[in-house]
Each structure stands twice: as structure tokens, then as C-alpha cells.
Amino acid sequence: KAGVTQTPRYLIKTRGQQVTLSCSPISGHRSVSWYQQTPGQGLQFLFEYFSETQRNKGNFPGRFSGRQFSNSRSEMNVSTLELGDSALYLCASSRGFDTQYFGPGTRLTVL
């Protein structure tokens, strides 16, 4: 089985712009979760989608949003980028009630 894929792998944006990250889960997995990883804050949960519905949400501002499509692929959007949004964004997929499998991440740099 193919693993979780994330595109793009690297991204450079400037403050105030918006960005969209994409995640394709493992075939058959209906849950996709997003995490932000930074040296200072570690791994922080953003949100989880299951069957196109947001099922769980972390403590991030409304500038961070996501969605999931009928094929379980998910996108994450960050609007009005700030310098502090520079991070590795990780996507994880699961069947919805157990082990999460992670993609390689998207490295976002905000200048």
C-alpha cells in the first residue's frame, strides 16, 4: 500500500499571503489529521477530518482551516500568514479509531 503523501514538500511564502497544503491518505483510511511541528511548541494537533466532517479541533486561530473530499484527500489552508506559522506541517491518516500513519510533511517558511 502506498503511504501518506503530502504536497508540496517545501513552500516559501511571505507574510500576509495564504497557503494551501494537500494530503492524500492511505487507501481505505477515512480519517485525516493535521499537526504543526515547531522547535518551540513541538507537535500540536490542528484538526481531524473523518468522512468529510471535522470531528476534532485543536487550539489554533480561525486562520487555520481544512476540508476533506469524498475520496478522503484533505487540504489545509492558512490565511494571512504570520512569521510564526513557519513550521513542518504533518498529515496523518487512519481508519478513524486507531493508529495514525504520518506523511513526510510540508516544510512551510514564511518570510
Partner 1 sequence: AQSVTQPDIHITVSEGASLELRCNYSYGATPYLFWYVQSPGQGLQLLLKYFSGDTLVQGIKGFEAEFKRSQSSFNLRKPSVHWSDAAEYFCAVGGDTGGFKTIFGAGTRLFVKA
- In the complex, the residues that contact partner 1 under the rule CB under 8 A are 4, 31, 33, 35, 42-43, 45, 48, 50, 55-56, 88, 90, 92, 94, 96-105, 107
Closest to partner 1 by CB, 30 or 79: 30
Output 84 or 96, the one with its CB closest to partner 1: 96
Shortest distance, CB of residue 99 to partner 1, whole angstroms?
Answer: 6
DSSP conformation letters of the chain = ----EEE-SEEEE-TT--EEEEEEPPTT--EEEEEEEETTTEEEEEEEEETTEEEEE-S--TTEEEEE-TTS-EEEEE-S--GGG-EEEEEEEESSSS--EE---EEEEE-
Closest separation in Å from C-beta 36 to partner 1: 11
Measured from the CB atom, the residue of 28 and 42 that comes closer to partner 1 is: 42
